[in-house]
C-alpha cells in the first residue's frame, strides 16, 4: 500500500468504501498537495554540517524558508554531521515520536595505546545488546545510569591509531561514551574522533539535502515560481510516520477529528495489523493524508464491532478546515 500513502499492512473493513472515499473530491493526494501546505506540514531530511549546533541549523532553515516555526529530532553535537530530521510548523508535532526509531552512525574512534593489536570484532560482540551508560560530561542532561540497546556494531577497518565502525542503536545512546567504554574494556583507551549519523528510520543519505540545496530551491521558487526544487527538498509529513501503526477513516469523520471529537468504529475504514492500545497511532484519510496522532481506546480485536468511542485524537496535524464539516 506504499503507493497510496500507507506504510504498513492494512486490514480493510470495507475496501469498496475506502476506494469511494479515496476518489471523493476532498483533500489532496500526497503528490498533489499544494506547496503552501508543504510549508505548514512538511519535513526536511537535512544533512547537518559539522560546526553549528542543531539549534543554529534549525534557525537557518527558518530564515531560508521564512517560516515561523521549525524543530529538529535527535540533537547532534556541533562537531557531529549527518541526518537531522526537521519539521516545519505543524510537522513539529510528530518529532517526539522519532525517539522510537533506531539511529545509525559511522564512527571513527581514536586509540590511545597504539602498541597493542586488538581484536575489535570480539569487543563489538560484547557491547551488542543491552548496555549501561552514563551521559558524557559535555551533555546537558542529568548524569544518571541509563540502559540502552545496541542493535549492531560492524567493524569496517583499522589502522594503528584509528578504528572505523558502524553502529545501529536505540535513540539516546551516547556514541562518545561507547567509544570510551570500548577503550576501557580493551585496555588500550579510546575516544570518539569523528561521528556521522547516516540514518534515522526512513531518513537516510539517499534523500538528504543540504542548507545550500534548500536555499537554492527556495530562491528558484521565489524568483520564478518553480516548485520542483522545493518538492524534491521538502518531504510530505507522512514520510515520517512509517514507524507508527495507522488508522484509516472516512472523509465524513475528518472534520470531527480535527476538532477533537472522539471517533466511533463506524467511521473506520481500516487499521494496521500491529495497532494496539499501547502505541501512538497515526490517523489518516483514505488519500493517505495524516490527520494527526492519537490513542486507541478499545482493544484492536474490537475494532470490527460497534463502539461509539474507539479512538481519541491527541494532536491535530492537518489544517482544521481542509475537509468540510
pLDDT digits (tens, 9 = 90+) for 82-118: 999 999 999 999 999 998 899 999 999 999 999 999 9
- Give tens-digit pLDDT for 277-316: 889 999 999 999 999 999 999 999 999 999 999 999 999 9
**Which residue's entry shows cell 537554492?**
216
Given pLDDT bands bounded at 50, 70 and 90, which one contains residue 2? very low
Q: Between the CA of residue 236 and those of 21, 180, 230, what are the distances in Å? A: 21, 39, 11
At residue 139, the pLDDT reads 62
Q: How large a percentage of the chain has pLDDT more than 70?
A: 96
> Looking at the domain assignment, is residue 310 inside a domain?
yes
> Looking at the domain assignment, is residue 265 inside a domain?
yes
At residue 141, the pLDDT reads 61
Same domain, 193 and 266: no
At residue 185, the pLDDT reads 95
At residue 134, the pLDDT reads 83
At residue 4, the pLDDT reads 53
Picking from 200, 224, 259, the residue at the C-terminal end of a domain is: 200
Same domain, 106 and 182: yes
> Looking at the domain assignment, is residue 287 inside a domain?
yes
Residue 76, helix vs strand vs coil: coil
Same domain, 106 and 196: yes
Give the number of domains in the chain: 2
Same domain, 194 and 110: yes
pTM: 0.91
At residue 28, the pLDDT reads 95
Same domain, 187 and 244: no
Same domain, 108 and 172: yes
Task: Identify whether the C-beta of residue 246 lies closer than 8 Å to the C-beta of residue 273.
Answer: no
Catalytic residue among 3, 47, 56, 77: 77
- Residue 18 structural domain: 2-32+238-316
pLDDT at 8 over 80: no
Same domain, 196 and 242: no
Same domain, 118 and 190: yes
At residue 1, the pLDDT reads 35
Task: Identify whether the C-beta of residue 309 lies closer than 8 Å to the C-beta of residue 262.
Answer: yes
| CATH code for the domain of 180 | 3.30.70.3190
- Give tens-digit pLDDT for 123-143: 999 999 999 998 776 666 666
Same domain, 106 and 185: yes
Picking from 142, 173, 200, the residue at the C-terminal end of a domain is: 200
- Give tens-digit pLDDT for 58-75: 999 999 999 999 999 989
> Looking at the domain assignment, is residue 68 inside a domain?
no
> Looking at the domain assignment, is residue 272 inside a domain?
yes
DSSP state of 263: B
- Give tens-digit pLDDT for 224-262: 999 999 999 999 999 999 999 999 999 999 999 999 999
Spatial distance between the Cα atoms of 251 and 229, rounded to a whole number of angstroms:
31
Spacing of C-alpha 249 from chain mean position = 23
Length of the chain: 325
Number of Cα atoms under 13 Å in the Cβ half of residue 175:
28
Picking from 200, 227, 259, the residue at the C-terminal end of a domain is: 200
The question of whether 314 is a catalytic residue gets the answer no
pLDDT at 50 over 90: yes
Given pLDDT bands bounded at 50, 70 and 90, which one contains residue 204? very high
> Looking at the domain assignment, is residue 28 inside a domain?
yes
What is the pLDDT of the chain when averaged over all its residues? 93
pLDDT at 323 over 90: yes
Same domain, 108 and 188: yes
> Looking at the domain assignment, is residue 59 inside a domain?
no
| CATH code for the domain of 267 | 2.30.130.10
At residue 6, the pLDDT reads 75
> Looking at the domain assignment, is residue 182 inside a domain?
yes
Q: How large a percentage of the chain has pLDDT more than 90?
A: 88
Amino acid at each position: 500500500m506504499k503507493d497510496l500513502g500507507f506504510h504498513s499492512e492494512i486490514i480493510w473493513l470495507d475496501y469498496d468504501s475506502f476506494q469511494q472515499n479515496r476518489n471523493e473530491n476532498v483533500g489532496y493526494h500526497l503528490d498533489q498537495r499544494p506547496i503552501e501546505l508543504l510549508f505548514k506540514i512538511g519535513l526536511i531530511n537535512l544533512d547537518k554540517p559539522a560546526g553549528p549546533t542543531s539549534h543554529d541549523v534549525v534557525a537557518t532553515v527558518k530564515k531560508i524558508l521564512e517560516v515561523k516555526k521549525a524543530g529538529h529530532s535527535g540533537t547532534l553535537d556541533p562537531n557531529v554531521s549527518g541526518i537531522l530530521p526537521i519539521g516545519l510548523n505543524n510537522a513539529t508535532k510528530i518529532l517526539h515520536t522519532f525517539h522510537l526509531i533506531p539511529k545509525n552512525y559511522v564512527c571513527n574512534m581514536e586509540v590511545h595505546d597504539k602498541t597493542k593489536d586488538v581484536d575489535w570484532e570480539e569487543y563489538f560482540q560484547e557491547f551488542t545488546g543491552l548496555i549501561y551508560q552514563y551521559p558524557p560530561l559535555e551533555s546537558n542532561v542529568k548524569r544518571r545510569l541509563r540502559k540502552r540497546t545496541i542493535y549492531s556494531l560492524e567493524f569496517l577497518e583499522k589502522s594503528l591509531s584509528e578504528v572505523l565502525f558502524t553502529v545501529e542503536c536505540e535513540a539516546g545512546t551516547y556514541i562518545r561514551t561507547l567509544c570510551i567504554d570500548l577503550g576501557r574494556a580493551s585496555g588500550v583507551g579510546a575516544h570518539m574522533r569523528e561521528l556521522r549519523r547516516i540514518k534515522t528510520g526512513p531518513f537516510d543519505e539517499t534523500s538528504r539535502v543540504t542548507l545550500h540545496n534548500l536555499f537554492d530551491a527556495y530562491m528558484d521558487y521565489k524568483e520564478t515560481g518553480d516548485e520542483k526544487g522545493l518538492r524534491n527538498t521538502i518531504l510530505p509529513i507522512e514520510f515520517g510516520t512509517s514507524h507508527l501503526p495507522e488508522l484509516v477513516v472516512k472523509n465524513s469523520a475528518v472534520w470531527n477529528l480535527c476538532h477533537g471529537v472522539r471517533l466511533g468504529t463506524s467511521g473506520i475504514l481500516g487499521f494496521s495489523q500491529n495497532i494496539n492500545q499501547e502505541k501512538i497511532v497515526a490517523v489518516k484519510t483514505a488519500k493517505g493524508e495524516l490527520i494527526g496522532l492519537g490513542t486507541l481506546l478499545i482493544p484492536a480485536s474490537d475494532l470490527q464491532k460497534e463502539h461509539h468511542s474507539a479512538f481519541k485524537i491527541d494532536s491535530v496535524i492537518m489544517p482544521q478546515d481542509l475537509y468540510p464539516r
